[in-house]
Copies of this chain bind each other. A is one copy, B any other.
Amino acid sequence: MNNFVFWSPTKFVFGRDTESRTGALAREFGGRKVLLVYGGGSVVRSGLLDRVKASLSASGIEWEEMGGIQPNPTDDRVYEGIELVRSRNIDMLIAVGGGSVIDTAKGIACGVPYEGDFWDFYCGKKIVEKALPVGVVLTIPAAGSEGSGNSVITKRDGLIKLSLRTESALRPKFAVMNPELTFTLPPYQTACGIVDMMVHIMERYFTNTPDVEITDRVAEGVLIAIMEEAPKVMCDPENYEARANIMWSGTLAHNGVCGTGRAEDWSSHFIEHEISAIYNVAHGAGLAVVVPAWMQYVAGVNPVKVAQFARRVMGVVSQGDDKSVAAEGIKRLKDFFMSIGMPVTFKELGIDNPDIERLVAKLHEHKGERIGGYVKLSADDTIKIYEMMQ
């Protein structure tokens, strides 16, 4: 087990009607005037935004608004938010939505107190030392950004999608999580979220760090729970209990508890980020295509942990060797993704003629000659992985 720091200070307030506590929570963490960041019209139409505003009013908190954040959020909205916050003396960001909205709020939060370009943090030139406090009202369980110190933003100029990781500076102060708010998510988006949270765990699970039984077992437990609850939310979108299990799983998948003391991988995310940056597909759907191909490729080199995953998570009982057990586990994972309506090929993702050369070139331009931890992948490897998705 490697040395580690685990610091997840977010206050999670989970359950029915919890959005009515947003104002009190904002006040508890020092907010006086907040910027409400949100996405499309659904938070407006559903009345959620009004309920949040009523809660802020009741606590004597003022607000400004910035709506219309798109999936795969872009730098232009971050710059816009930074200007707005600076000009209106705003002291806290509250994201009402999912990962794209939260990540935009985080970009603004670290950009405001910094004199230079906030992009410096994302491209690794600078480390975030100060940030405005961020609060969250979560509506999409997927990205795990409500409990992580991370943010992913795409630079429009050049379509560079980069992720920023901080130990604690960008962890939200609080996250309000009402599973009822996820009842109206379209099935495709629900399924994308399920894939995304599963892959957040798998990026941590696939490691060569030895003797990490405790995190292996926790990670396996969360994965099993997600796969048990997923069919329930797919057939019965208003099943509160199943939605609650999925929502909390999404947080545990990414707040770090599944990754303590071990080297992590993240190559599937990097491989996918290039796809969604160029073709603007949903990140979770992209991952459903990437991960089985990635697993199949790495199992050819290093099958140990893939076989453990197959046995403990996918329930493969077999006397076969690690490679055959791994292959059966990957087949079952693919079947599971298909069972919840996810694509597993480029074509199913709506990309008939992927420009694989461009994907590979951009991937290694952004992430260096070799990516990943479980198996280190050069362009010779990643081209084969992209080809396996066809």
Binding site for B on A (CB under 8 A): 1-16, 18, 168, 210-214, 216-222, 224-225, 228-229, 241-242, 244-245, 248-249, 252, 257, 260-261
Contact = CB atoms under 8 A, between A and B. Distances in A.
B1 A245 contact: yes
A243 B147 CA distance: 28
B214 A249 contact: yes
A6 B12 contact: yes
Nearest to A223: B217
Given A1-B245, A3-B15, A211-B244, 19 more contacts: A1-B15, A1-B244, A3-B16, A3-B18, A4-B12, A5-B13, A6-B11, A6-B12, A8-B8, A11-B168, A14-B261, A213-B245, A214-B249, A214-B252, A218-B221, A218-B222, A218-B225, A219-B221, A257-B257
9 contacts: A1-B245, A5-B13, A7-B11, A8-B8, A213-B228, A217-B221, A218-B225, A244-B261, A252-B257
B6 A245 contact: no
Contacts of A219: 221
Nearest to A212: B245
Contacts of A257: 252, 257
A14 B212 CA distance: 13
B14 A3 contact: yes
A91 B285 CA distance: 52
A32 to B, nearest CB: 22
Nearest to A218: B221
Contacts of A9: 7-9, 11
A222 B229 contact: no
A7 to B, nearest CB: 4
Contacts of A11: 5-7, 9, 168
A222 B211 contact: no
Given A11-B7, A248-B260, A1 B241 contact: yes
Contacts of A261: 14-15, 244, 248
Nearest to A1: B244
Contacts of A8: 8-9
B12 A5 contact: yes
A252 B12 contact: no
A249 to B, nearest CB: 5
A168 to B, nearest CB: 8
A241 to B, nearest CB: 3
Contacts of A13: 5
Contact of A222 (B14, B210, B214, B249): B214
Contacts of A229: 213-214
A358 to B, nearest CB: 40
A8 B219 CA distance: 19
Contacts of A211: 241-242, 244-245
Contacts of A1: 15, 241, 244-245, 248
Nearest to A16: B3
Q: Which of the listed residues A5, A213, A220, A222 has the most CB atoms from chain B within 10 Å of its own CB? A: A213
Contacts of A217: 221-222, 224-225
